[in-house]
Amino acid sequence: MNTDDSIIRMAVRFEGHVQGVGFRFTTVRLATGREVTGYVKNEFDGDVTLQAEGTREQLNALLIDIRQSAVGRYVTNEQVTWRPATGEFDTFGVKC
């Protein structure tokens, strides 16, 4: 059993037809109730980025939820990177 509850950061860039389909608001809804902080944001090139901090278990669960949600079908590629947490976020929401 893995008891690693250290906080880390997951950065994800979602590519595809991910803007204008409720992607950000679905992501916020899926993050609600999870112990994650950070944001989801539309990028000028049409991609959506996610910056989230939490345990690896919580972050992986959020990523799986996004993939399995109705908006997951619009993703054609995702780039996931892991980094040390900075602790800069208090909540999870949409960043403009």
Q: Which residues are catalytic?
A: 24, 42
d(CA 58, CA 52): 10
Which residue is listed with tokens 């059993």?
A: 1
For residue 44, the tally of other CB atoms under 10 A from its CB is 5
d(CA 53, CA 17): 25
d(CA 51, CA 60): 13
